Structure 1
């Protein structure tokens, strides 16, 4: 059972006030991107915020606004060219719709339309995987997240077992019988590296395979791939006392390196993946390692040393707080609760820009950096608001399944 972790009235009021402010900003039409209908930076993610906010605030007008946004998105779908990814395309829009249906936010009668979308994205997934692009946000794993969400209502295993087959085809076995996948995205613009993170790398594959197994999709090669992928990642475990983190962001030449504290890269995403894998494989050693990583990470609190610059879900304070909250809800480890509360406080302090959205701006790398207003789910105030909501609400934040957190 999910329970709010912040209970002091004055702290609840402070967070509620900030969430109300975020809702007020997002209700202004010019802050909702008119052409960006996607999940991670556009209108679909903003609709998610309004539906969850409506439950906390008992505000029917917010639910109505969320429904209006979704309706407009589908009115426009046939009028424009659109990408297919989870982040910026059809997979994310479809995931949003399925999530809202399955969790009784909306009613939807066009099941044939959704079945057609399943078939379309399955075809795109296979082509994308053949190109070697398994990326969660921009490639085939994102299509898989949509298809898994649909499986929970349709029971269609074929699409998911085929994804496993395609994933195996593009895998590379290393000398220690571990399995790896070469990344299309790296922090240095290179193509052939092994990214260990959640947004673009191995953690997303491990997490997804574990979820398939936990959903009783026992395809012949799944367990082999899952065990081998975990074996590969564990080979690059490093001494956190020496290198600050348990794992580097990615593997270039096997050299240990410090990684950031974030959902997208580094120990948090890897720990989520290992925790799921440990449960799927019924391996207590993997579970204990994942918890050790998270407990160690709970004591990493310096913003600069952890490369934490803003408040967004992807690589900011709200995302860190949400991950610690989610794992605390499962484990009841007090250090994780303390970390969730701490990073929630940091999230409130990040609201400091007079010209920001509800005081927030998103920091853009890599060169000199720039601060930009961002409304969406992944890096903007919709995601920040959802993280804050989960601290003062008993409503299970199932929206995070699109990021393979929940």
Structure 2
């Protein structure tokens, strides 16, 4: 009898040990599974954060857009998105009237071939630029449609953002982000006449050139299909409050690469139009490169460039004498020679001799200080 009791106790102990062992195995498995899930989730979040950070660094305006454009969309329920115009908001006319004080002349901040630009105050925290296009004409309508279509597909830190549009009777309106420092042309050719000085230092001019090159590189190499601006000039390069340069006015832009005079009307601004386009109607991305070279000459000389200055650009002894007096003797001469060489290449009469905008971009990065977006350590 005693031995039977002992055997029962042994059996119970063995059963208990087995249960404890099974419980430990199950618990360990569950704990391992939980840790594995947590690890996978952590890795996933880390990858997502890195991806978001990379996307924001590549296109910081995309992140800023949510902050900058949000107030106007939240403030006014009358703003609506039109499917026809993609992501560009259709804005009610009365809202523009109120924001510009009935298009008061005191609100005018610019004027172009197709209309005037007004500063619009939508509220205390949100200002924008409203372009009122002169009524009538097929050309005005075509450029309006082209501008909306082009900028609804383009989002880049060096391309001005189109916030909305309005159609009111025969009138057409475009609403852009506010560019507080106006155009490059204003600083180079208008402001200095009034104040007899320039706000654009050598480094700010190089930053402007780098920003424009980045914008063009995006249009030529990153957009699919590629975009040719076709009207690059100092008046279409705008500066924000931090002197970041952005391309504007896409009314003449075309997509799809090369073209000729049989398929597209000759347009642009004399002085900036490439000779092969002017004479033969041949339009390529190298046409934008030519216009970039003209802009670069303006940045160097501080005046609208003339052909007779070209030979002096290649003469190192004469070059410092034709540089804008406002920046003369303020830059490294080696950098001056490099920029002049780039300008000469860009305005070569033969398109095949001009560099790709990508090569121009990489040439400018070492000439711009780090705090202005380049790699130069001052």
Common fold: TM-score over 0.5: no
- Relative CO higher for 1 or 2, CA cutoff 8 Å, sep ≥ 6? 1
Q: Which has the larger radius of gyration?
A: 2
Q: Whose strand fraction is larger, Structure 1's or Structure 2's?
A: 2
